[in-house]
């Protein structure tokens, strides 16, 4: 068994590792939208004292707005 299948890296989900599916490592700072949204249709992001909305649209797009 491969090490990535027994010990998930920071870039593999526990579910993928449990299923024996290895994912390619992502570049530093890259997030998967599934992880970011975590089952929600929208996330709010606070940056520099401002609040931003990041909705997942019906057209499967992410649109960042103030």
pLDDT in tens, 29-49: 888 999 999 999 999 999 999
Is the confidence at residue 16, as pLDDT, over 70?
A: no
Query: Do 46 and 22 reside in the same domain of the chain?
Result: no
Q: Are residues 35 and 66 in the same domain?
A: yes
Task: Tally the domains of the chain.
Answer: 2
Domain that holds residue 4: 1-29
Q: Tell whether the model's pLDDT for residue 28 goes beyond 90.
A: no
pTM above 0.75, yes or no: no
Percent pLDDT > 90 in the chain is: 53
Co-location of 20 and 37 in the same domain: no
Range 37-40 contact pairs with CB under 8 angstroms and sequence separation of 24 or more: none
What's the length of the chain? Answer: 66
Q: What's the rounded Cα separation, in Å, for the pair 13 and 22?
A: 9
């Amino acid at each position: 068994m491969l090490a990535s299948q027994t010990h998930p890296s920071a870039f593999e989900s526990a579910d993928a590792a449990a299923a024996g599916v290895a994912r390619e490592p992502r570049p530093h700072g890259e997030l998967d939208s599934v992880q970011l949204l975590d089952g929600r249709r929208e996330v709010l992001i606070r940056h520099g004292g401002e609040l931003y909305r990041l909705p997942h649209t019906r057209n499967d797009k992410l649109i960042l707005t103030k």
